[in-house]
């Protein structure tokens, strides 16, 4: 069994320790790639470093959930529990069905001077997350993926990580899905922002089928936290000047003094053994950021490569032919070579359309003028001297003019009808894409679960 298989199958968590740029993130990504038998893999990424993994990248979202809200004091006050905060939350949750209503109830408590300190403590955090768009009212299922916190402010970033961690724990409280969670907290653990919530919950995480990979630059100063982390599986990277200190104080193996990248020193807590291994960085393709979907009309209105590709039209001449009251548009070849014109805006398309219509109108007016001339020449004929015959000819001519006006109006409104049809089709395609993505997620989770069951059976020696 490889060293990473021993770590990932161990009931204990994994602690990555090392100085800046010692390869901690590379090791974490290596372990994530090898953790194929986990039903759910969640990476909490505060710096946007894990987008190259083959996992969906999502923004942090915290749905409105009463149980999650009632657990906020355990996040903000892990030692005391925040008695006044708990009272303020309990009162504010009454008749609250959304984050907005809950925040409004907290404001009411502050104005009424009831549980003021607790309400202000909760409100100050929630307003920050609300401004960053983290709080939502819909209950979106939590699946495998990289949760990217890099776009949030520094203060909101680590507060959101705490809330998302709490959400993971609460969801596993009921479904007990085998979950691997990576917590990148190295650069903030000195300020004690994340350590108080992560370390005390390590035992609870194991009971909830959650395996944590926590990343530190240095061990916490608190003796209790440090001892808790040292009982877990360790992957020690290059420590610099701290190597000798930890060798003496924490009973690390002496090999920790001469670790050089890409070497790491692994401690198997179950076996109480140390082993030096190499972790080679895998070359990942650059992450492809998905661009927001743009409607077809907007693509036509805005210049760009896509618009130019979509709007390449072969200009071979346009003419509209009338045959005894029935007109029909046909495109005729005027040149033997194929000449293409690039249109970069909707106005140019309208100009081409108007030119084509004006050409056809000119031809029609010319034909009408010719008929009028032939009519004038024939007026001297005896059969046309009768007034009734003349009136009939004029009536037929006026009817033809009316039909011509109706056709021109219909042609001018055809563009708008085409765009409306395209937009309705795009709306249907978006709905189908949404349903297909939901179906793909469900099938992926089923496949992961079946693969996990097969591996469990094979490990137990049962027939698959």
> Are 260 and 317 within one domain?
no
**How high is the pLDDT of residue 81?**
52
432 is a domain residue:
yes
For residues 235 and 228, the answer to whether their CB atoms sit within 8 Å is: no
Has residue 179 been placed in a domain?
Answer: yes
| Contact partners, residue 278, CB within 8 Å, separation at least 6 | 262, 263, 264
Residues 190-214: b if buried by 16+ CB within 10 A, e if exposed: eeebbbbbbbebbeebeebbbbbbb
Asked whether 296 and 423 are in contact (CB, 8 A), the reply is yes
Q: Residue written as tokens 């009982």?
A: 231
The verdict on 11 and 154 lying in the same domain is: yes
Contact assessment for residue 224 and residue 245, using Cβ atoms and an 8 Å cutoff: no
Tell whether 405 is covered by a domain. yes
Contact between 311 and 349 under an 8 Å Cβ cutoff? The reply is yes
| Separation CA 355–CA 338 (nearest Å) | 20
CA atoms of 455 and 398, how far apart (whole Å) = 85
* pLDDT one digit per residue (tens) for the chain, 464 residues: 889 999 999 999 999 999 888 889 999 999 999 988 898 999 999 988 898 888 899 999 999 999 999 888 877 765 555 688 889 999 999 889 899 999 999 999 999 988 888 899 899 889 999 999 999 998 888 889 999 998 998 888 888 988 998 899 988 888 888 999 998 764 454 444 555 567 777 888 888 899 999 998 888 888 888 888 899 999 999 998 899 999 988 889 999 999 988 899 999 998 999 999 999 877 666 554 444 444 434 444 444 444 444 444 333 333 333 443 444 444 344 443 333 334 445 556 666 667 777 777 777 777 777 777 776 666 555 555 566 666 777 777 777 777 777 666 666 566 666 767 777 788 888 888 888 888 888 898 898 888 888 888 877 776 54
In this structure, the answer to whether residues 201 and 331 fall within a common structural domain is no
% helix / strand / coil in the chain, to the nearest 5? 55, 15, 30
Distance separating alpha carbons of residues 325 and 323, to the nearest angstrom = 6
Contact 213, 183 (CB under 8 A): yes
Residues 320 and 396 in one domain: yes
Judgement on whether residues 274 and 311 belong to the same structural domain of the protein: no
Do 229 and 314 lie in a common domain?
A: no
Domain holding 222, by residue range, is 3-61+140-278
Distances (CA, A) of 383 to 65, 287, 375, 395: 93, 84, 12, 17
Same domain, 150 and 30: yes
Same domain, yes or no, for 269 and 318?
A: no
In a domain, 191, yes or no: yes
Residue 309 neighbours by CB distance under 10 Å = 10
Residue 108 in any domain: the answer is no
Q: Are residues 326 and 412 in the same domain?
A: yes
- Cα-Cα-Cα-Cα torsion 62, 68, 71, 75, nearest 10 degrees, comes to -20
Q: Is residue 423 part of a domain?
A: yes
Last residue of a domain, one of 278, 308, 329: 278
CB count, 10 Å around CB of 56? 13
For residue 320, is it within any domain? Answer: yes
Whether residue 332 sits in one domain with residue 237: no
Q: How far apart are CA 228 and CA 208, in angstroms?
A: 18
* Same domain membership, residue 211 and residue 309: no
What does the alpha-carbon distance between residue 182 and residue 48 come to, in Å, rounded to a whole number?
Answer: 13
Domains in the chain: how many in total?
Answer: 2
| 3 state SS for 263-328 | EEEEEECCCCEEEEEECCCCCCCCCCCCCCCCCHHHHHHCCCHHHHHHCEEECCCEEEEEECCEEE
Q: Is residue 53 part of a domain?
A: yes
CATH number for the domain harbouring residue 198: 3.40.50.300
């Amino acid at each position: 069994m490889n060293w990473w298989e021993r770590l990932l199958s161990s009931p204990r968590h994994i602690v990555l320790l090392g100085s800046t740029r010692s390869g901690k993130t590379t090791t974490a990504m290596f372990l994530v790639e090898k953790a194929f038998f986990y039903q759910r893999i969640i990476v909490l990424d505060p710096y946007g470093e894990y987008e190259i993994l083959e996992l969906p990248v999502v923004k942090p979202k915290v749905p409105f959930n009463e149980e999650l809200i009632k657990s906020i004091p355990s996040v903000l006050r892990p030692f005391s529990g925040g008695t006044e905060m708990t009272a303020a939350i309990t009162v504010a949750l009454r008749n609250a069905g959304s984050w907005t209503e809950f925040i409004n109830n907290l404001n009411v408590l502050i104005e009424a001077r009831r549980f003021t300190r607790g309400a202000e403590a909760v409100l100050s955090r929630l307003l920050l997350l609300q401004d960053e768009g983290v709080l939502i009212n819909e209950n979106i299922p939590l699946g495998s993926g990289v949760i990217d916190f890099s776009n949030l402010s520094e203060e909101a970033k680590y507060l959101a990580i705490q809330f998302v961690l709490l959400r993971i724990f609460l969801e596993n409280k009921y479904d007990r899905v085998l979950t691997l969670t990576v917590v990148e907290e190295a650069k903030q653990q000195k300020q004690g922002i994340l350590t108080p919530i992560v370390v005390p919950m390590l035992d609870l995480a194991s009971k909830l089928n959650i395996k944590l990979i926590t990343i530190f630059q240095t061990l916490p100063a608190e003796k209790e936290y440090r001892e808790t982390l040292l009982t877990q599986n360790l992957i020690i990277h290059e420590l610099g000047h701290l190597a000798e200190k930890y060798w003496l104080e924490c009973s690390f193996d002496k090999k920790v003094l001469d670790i050089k990248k890409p070497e790491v020193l692994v401690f198997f807590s179950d076996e109480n053994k140390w082993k030096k291994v190499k972790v080679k960085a895998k070359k990942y393709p650059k992450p492809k950021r998905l661009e927001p979907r743009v409607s077809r009309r907007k693509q036509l209105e805005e210049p760009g490569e896509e618009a130019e590709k979509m709007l390449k039209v072969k200009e071979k001449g346009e003419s509209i032919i009338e045959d005894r009251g029935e007109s029909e548009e046909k495109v005729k070849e005027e040149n033997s070579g194929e000449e293409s014109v690039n249109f970069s805006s909707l106005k140019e398309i309208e100009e081409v359309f108007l030119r084509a219509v004006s050409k056809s109108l000119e031809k029609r007016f010319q034909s009408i003028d010719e008929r009028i001339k032939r009519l004038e020449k024939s007026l001297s004929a005896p059969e046309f001297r009768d007034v009734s015959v003349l009136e009939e000819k004029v009536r037929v001519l006026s009817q033809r003019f009316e039909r011509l006006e109706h056709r021109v109006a219909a042609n001018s409104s055809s563009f708008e009808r085409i765009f409306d049809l395209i937009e309705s089709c795009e709306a249907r395609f978006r709905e189908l894409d949404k349903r297909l993505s939901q179906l793909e997620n469900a099938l992926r989770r089923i496949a992961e679960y079946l693969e996990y069951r097969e591996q469990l059976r094979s490990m137990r020696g049962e027939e698959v």
